[in-house]
Structure 1
């Protein structure tokens, strides 16, 4: 891992589609740990670091990106991981005024709290937590597809956030059936 391709995001990164408890595999793929990192467009420091790391990964991976061709395709012509949430997910409020990127790794990421103590309680790790993420960018060329990808290294959870997704709590699901003072409790 090159220092030029390594980035630690700012402390307000929101983690979505968080999969760090058990690896999951796409059909026909290898199991990996993964997360979608949502970075506010206001976090220009992190975004600048990401742009520089993508450029460094491009320069370091020119041989791989060239493939069987005579020239290396320009960076603007290949797939890169940083995407605009306003353009690609306009109906999802979590992605408004933000960029996002997907990071994965077959190796389990280290996960710590604000004091760098390991988090072992899996219920503490859900889509919506907020913190810093250590990532690394690298060039790839697989089956004619070329680009820059992002590896998930480690996570520092700094605070709880609003859980993302469509799941509602059990209390909300069954509130209409709540027994008034036990009057409907047939076991008593």
Structure 2
């Protein structure tokens, strides 16, 4: 018999990772009383979905609709504007890199630190600061995640309400162009270093005449 208290687990289609916050929990700046969360923004381009992606997407959409009907008495697509839908049209952030026409996005959050692993090609190795490889996760890489669908704001006096995707674990699938325009440190510097800096002792700089450069 299935455990009805255990949240249903779903797997997302592959998405482009944006705003990763997977290792240090942060509070919502707009609500100082909120509990700190881990999370990320997942950006999908449905036109590029594989048949398997479409199957995974439809399963999540079906659950979003079921939760909407159960808790807000309306189908997901017909929820009023004061109830957040969890999955949003990328045009709402069209001025941001990676979003825009033809994309969908969702903020996946959790109060517990999610597990993060590498692709099967890399042995599903753990990724994180304690493993010295947290830089493998960055805005722009491609990932997938295990999630659940839940509702919030059902209690009287709640600030907001809606349906959302909770986050369990994340798997990196492959690299992609960075969304934050940062350049890796190894790529930012060439191998040429003025040999004078390597040959001189620290004491050689003690008697330098700063006035020569004013």
Taking structure 1 as the reference length, the TM-score comes to 0.76
| Equivalent position of 2:55 in the other structure | 45
When Rg is computed on C-alpha atoms for both structures, the one with the higher figure is 2
| Higher RCO (Cα < 8 Å, 6 or more apart) | 1
Q: Does the C-alpha gap of structure 1 residues 168 and 114 become closer, same or farther in structure 2, counting only changes over 3 Å?
A: closer
CA RMSD of aligned residues (A): 2.7
CA distance 1:128–1:79, shift in 2 (3 Å): same
Structure 1 ranges of 4+ moved more than 6 A: 171-175
Deviation of the 1:45 alpha carbon: 3.3
Deviation for aligned residue 1:95:
1.5
Alignment of structure 1 residues 121-160 onto 2, 5 Å: 121-141=133-153, 143=158, 145-160=160-175
Q: Give deviations 1:45-81, integer Å, cap 9, x for gaps.
A: 3432221120122244x2xx4xxxxxx3554223111
Query: 2:206 matched to which residue of 1?
Result: none
Task: Quote how far apart the aligned CAs of 1:160 are.
Answer: 1.6
Match of 1:161 among 164, 171, 176: 176
Identify the structure with the greater strand proportion.
1
TM (norm. structure 2) is: 0.68
Point out where structure 1 has 5 or more consecutive residues left out of the alignment. Answer: 66-71
Inter-partner Cα distance in structure 1 for 2:37 and 2:111: 4
The equivalent residue for 2:117 is 112
